[in-house]
A = this chain, B = another copy of it.
Amino acid sequence: MLIAPGGWIFRSVGAESSMSAPIPIENGGDTGNGLPSGSSGVDKSVQREAVPSSSSMKSKMGTLFLVGISFALIFNSEYDPLLACIGFSVLAYVITTVLIPALSPDFVRVGFVGRDLGKKNRPLIPETMGAVCAVVYLITLFFFIPFLFAKFFVTETSGSGNREHVLDTATLHKGRSLRMFPHSKLAEFLAALLSSFSMLVLGVADDLFDIRWRNKLLLPAIAVLPLIFVYYVDFGVTFVAVPPVIWKLFNPEMVSNSAVPPVVDLGVFYYIYMLAMAIFCPNSINILAGINGLEAGQSLIIAISLLLNDAMYIIPGRILGLHPPHPATEAHLLSTYFVLPLIAVTAALLKYNWYPARVFVGDTYCYFAGMVFAQVGILGHFSKTLLLFLIPQIVNFIYSAPQLFKLVDCPRHRLPKLNTETGLLEPSRVYFDIPPKGAELLLLTSLGKLKLLDLERDPETRLIKSSSNFTIVNLVLTWAGPLREDRLAIVILGIQAGCCAVGLVARHTIAPALFGRDNL
């Protein structure tokens, strides 16, 4: 054999020496440990059995109905960007729903394919479908830009078709400048799109090349640079509110003014904090992963929570007119424009990624969704609220840290293990060839006593032989397992929803009390 089929498609051991039975690397969509996920073998049969597009009469009518609604909303939005955004989001949902099955065979053909290890027959299914979502999302927002700013063109005329603003020769050569046009808002919007685009490129590059850990950390920070620059230019707010209670601890002589909460200027540290957010959000979603529907499901819940949070600012003041619009209304409208289309494409993706998954989302999706969260948090100056919604991701990150930072052995795959007899998932385990000692032993025994790990000890020597892996997916299985894959996803998504609900309530009840002012 002159030309060994050596490309990434058969990168696995043995593929080069023997062609008769190439063994594709196993892949559970994402390995769930944030480490490079292996790519895998490609099977021609996958192309034939690729995601069937639902082409029944009923589904076609439904699609047409949705397209009709979206066009009605877009073209009757009468300069209300919110209506147009809803319209575009419905359209984005429809397009993503159609494109995912349509493009699946092409993704399989070029090698974006992975084995679903949570199923008995370990089917090969298309991978990196988040790229489709991201592209639809970005094109949607490209088309949305004129609608977002439409009202600023209208104020140029008296509305009866007259155009008072007659161009003279000087204007003609220098160009015109629309009065009142919010260029800074346009710059914000474009910078946010640029960050998302960078993450799409980074995500696809990661799915293709398996980028190294340190670059995965570095690159989102570069991606968010234009956004942070725009933030610096437009707001430059590096102050964070401090609860008066805490303030008084450090400044007992200060007279409390309940109307304006005390603030602390974080200065350059605020920018470092924003960079950290941009690194944390994409990566933290990428490591809470590994079972069908989990990545898209958690993102959907977080996005909906962000939308509800935005609604708390927008609806009472702007829509119901109960009181003057909240000062942060504009920021939360901008957030809504980014979050609504994300909800749309994520819902479409989840349709195909839910158990039993017909497509994988890929690192691309996790990075992309995470960056959208980070950018709305940064632009809207509500990153603390965002962190409330990311509590499961934060907990999972902290819980995973010992394995991520190699204090404890980290196997290549940390996703739960399928028990082929019961069809249920069980916690995956890390086996210790050398019995752990020192800090590792202390950590394992402490966590074991707190029931945060399932330890297996040698019956005679009492030395630790193995432990469940350090992810909350495995932890849930340790506590409540074994579970079928979809039940497990429901439990974790339930935790996510619960955390978001508590966060949302806390944000609008405890926080105003603590900070001495109300949002509404």
Q: Does A213 contact B (CB under 8 A)?
A: no
Q: Does A520 contact B (CB under 8 A)?
A: no
Q: Does A194 contact B (CB under 8 A)?
A: yes
Contact B145 A225 (CB under 8 A): yes
Contact A178 B233 (CB under 8 A): yes
Which residues on B sit within 8 Å (CB–CB) of A113? 7
Contact A5 B10 (CB under 8 A): yes
A10, A181, A186, A239, most chain B CB atoms within 10 A = A186
Contact B142 A222 (CB under 8 A): yes
Stretch at the interface among A14-22, A28-36, A243-251, A490-498: A14-22
Within residues 19 to 55 of chain A, which ones have a CB less than 8 A from any CB in chain B? 19-22, 24, 41-44, 47
Q: Does A395 contact B (CB under 8 A)?
A: no
Contact B208 A110 (CB under 8 A): yes
Which residues on B sit within 8 Å (CB–CB) of A190? 187, 190-191, 194, 226, 230
A184-B183, A190-B190 known; A43+B4 contact, CB < 8 A: yes
Q: Does A3 contact B (CB under 8 A)?
A: yes
* Chain B residue with the shortest CB-CB distance to A381: B175
Q: Does A198 contact B (CB under 8 A)?
A: yes
Q: Does A204 contact B (CB under 8 A)?
A: yes
A138 vs B225: C-alpha distance when bound (angstroms)? 12
- One complex includes copies of this chain to the number of 2
Which residues on B sit within 8 Å (CB–CB) of A44? 3-4, 6, 16
Within residues 128 to 182 of chain A, which ones have a CB less than 8 A from any CB in chain B? 135, 138-139, 142-143, 145-146, 149, 169, 172-178, 181
* Chain B residue with the shortest CB-CB distance to A10: B5
Contact B197 A110 (CB under 8 A): no
Contact B327 A109 (CB under 8 A): no
A143 vs B9: C-alpha distance when bound (angstroms)? 36
Contact B42 A5 (CB under 8 A): yes
* Chain B residue with the shortest CB-CB distance to A9: B7
Contact B20 A1 (CB under 8 A): yes
A327 vs B174: C-alpha distance when bound (angstroms)? 8
Which residues on B sit within 8 Å (CB–CB) of A209? 106, 109-110
Which residues on B sit within 8 Å (CB–CB) of A184? 177, 183
A5-B19, A41-B3, A43-B3 known; A237+B142 contact, CB < 8 A: no
Q: Does A279 contact B (CB under 8 A)?
A: no
Residues of A within 8 Å of B, CB-based: how many?
Answer: 74
* Chain B residue with the shortest CB-CB distance to A139: B222
Q: From the candidates B16, B169, B198, B233, name the one contacting A186 in the complex (CB within 8 A).
A: B233
A319 vs B219: C-alpha distance when bound (angstroms)? 37
Which residues on B sit within 8 Å (CB–CB) of A172? 237, 239, 263
A329 vs B310: C-alpha distance when bound (angstroms)? 43
Which residues on B sit within 8 Å (CB–CB) of A149? 229, 233
Within residues 210 to 256 of chain A, which ones have a CB less than 8 A from any CB in chain B? 222, 225-226, 229-230, 233-237, 239
A280 vs B163: C-alpha distance when bound (angstroms)? 34
Q: Does A260 contact B (CB under 8 A)?
A: yes
A21 vs B1: C-alpha distance when bound (angstroms)? 6
* Chain B residue with the shortest CB-CB distance to A19: B19
Q: Does A126 contact B (CB under 8 A)?
A: no
Which residues on B sit within 8 Å (CB–CB) of A138? 198
Q: Mark A45-82, 1 if CB is under 8 A from B, else 0.
A: 00100000000000000000000000000000000000
Contact B10 A24 (CB under 8 A): no
Q: List, sorted by A's number, 19 A–B pairs whose CB atoms are closer than 8 Å.
A: A1-B19, A1-B20, A3-B41, A5-B22, A6-B42, A6-B43, A6-B44, A11-B109, A138-B198, A145-B229, A146-B229, A172-B237, A173-B260, A173-B327, A175-B235, A186-B230, A190-B191, A194-B197, A197-B197
- A sample of 4 more A-B contacts (CB under 8 A), given A142-B225, A173-B327, is A149-B229, A175-B236, A176-B235, A201-B204
